[in-house]
């Protein structure tokens, strides 16, 4: 299967290439794509160098799937051009997530809604992805009524420049480029994306709206506080969820254990709980600190961690591509011709 990776020279683009290789996705021809200033550069895939090509050349090559990780403006302008050429686009930006005509997909939760007619498929926000993977089995059993989530998000979610800022500050370099309005090393910023008129940030409202769309239930109430912290391994979330039905704590743990893509790390007596350090480089969503909220009925607290560059972006996109291939929702033969 011919695969294009748009934004192949970026942080997430590089992770997509790594995940495609690790999961042995059947790539017959790789087409790395980036902006004009990166055309001609090389990226590595499975130990071999590949030359970055332009958007126009990528469309002309007619890949079966193009995985986009090149920013919202690029996706808005170019994803329709790829789609019109018969190429299925899986887009990592926020450009199409809340478009009612475009599916917003987390494979463990709602891949079953995909059809061959879906030519632009949106990959959700990283913080939303890990939360809904954990919520899905609980919603099916007890029906989620309300979610209160506080996130602790890695600087990798902002990109390479943010990682560079963190380590420059740690090394005492005051001249490095700054992507945050304040120092991030030894600090916490309750500010991800822009502030909106309602006092929430765009990141917080993404979690509200995307959760409802992915879960297919507008009745779920979500409120979020999203926070940037100086880590690089992944995003962490403290999740408080109220259900319509009463739950049994042992059954909740068992539901997590049996859920696709979830690993339970919940042994406080031995100091075992999810952490970005141990989630780094993994594709699963880790849950722990599972306990009843003792202040109100039918309410659960748990802690949730996932590598935001993997499950929160690259892996989720590749899993969508795997689903499309497995269920023959893309025409690989036509793309090769």
Catalytic annotation, residues: 126, 235
Q: How many residues does the chain have?
A: 337
**Which tokens belong to 184?**
């991030």
At residue 177, the 3 state secondary structure works out as coil
Of 247, 250, 284, 288, which is closest to residue 269 (Cα–Cα)?
288
Helix axes 11-22, 315-326, angle to 10 degrees: 50
Residues 6+ apart with CB under 8 A from 112: none
Confirm if 114 and 103 have CB atoms less than 8 A apart: yes
Helices (H), 31-159: 55-61, 72-84, 107-110, 126-142
Q: How far apart are CA 141 and CA 104, in angstroms?
A: 23
């Amino acid at each position: 299967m011919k695969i294009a990776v748009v934004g192949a020279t970026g942080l997430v683009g590089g992770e997509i290439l790594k995940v495609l290789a690790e999961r042995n996705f059947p790539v017959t021809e790789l087409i790395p794509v980036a902006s004009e200033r990166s055309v001609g550069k090389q990226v590595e895939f499975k130990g071999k160098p590949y030359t970055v090509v332009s958007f126009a050349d990528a469309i002309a090559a007619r890949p079966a799937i193009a995985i986009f990780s090149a920013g919202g403006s690029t996706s808005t302008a170019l994803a329709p051009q790829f789609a019109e050429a018969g190429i299925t686009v899986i887009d990592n930006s926020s450009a199409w997530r809340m478009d009612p005509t475009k599916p917003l997909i987390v494979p463990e939760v709602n891949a079953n809604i995909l059809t061959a007619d879906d030519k632009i498929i949106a990959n959700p926000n990283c913080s939303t992805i890990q939360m809904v993977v954990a919520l899905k089995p609980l919603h099916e059993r007890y029906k989620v009524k309300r979610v209160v989530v506080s996130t602790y998000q890695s600087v990798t979610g902002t990109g390479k420049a943010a990682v560079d800022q963190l380590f420059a500050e740690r090394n005492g370099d005051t001249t490095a480029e700054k992507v945050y309005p304040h120092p991030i090393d030894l600090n916490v910023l309750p500010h991800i994306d822009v502030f909106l008129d309602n006092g929430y940030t765009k990141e917080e409202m993404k979690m509200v709206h995307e959760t409802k769309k992915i879960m297919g239930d507008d009745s779920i109430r979500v409120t979020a506080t999203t926070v940037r912290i100086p880590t690089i391994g992944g995003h962490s979330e403290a999740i408080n969820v109220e259900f319509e039905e009463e739950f049994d704590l042992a059954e909740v743990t068992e539901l997590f254990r049996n859920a696709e893509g979830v690993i339970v790390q919940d042994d406080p007596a031995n100091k075992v709980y999810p952490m970005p350090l141990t989630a780094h480089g993994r594709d699963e969503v880790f849950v722990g600190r599972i306990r009843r909220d003792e202040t109100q009925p039918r309410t659960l607290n748990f802690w949730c961690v996932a590598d935001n560059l993997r499950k929160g972006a690259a892996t989720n996109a590749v899993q969508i591509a795997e689903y499309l291939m497995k269920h023959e929702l893309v025409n690989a033969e036509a793309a090769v011709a």
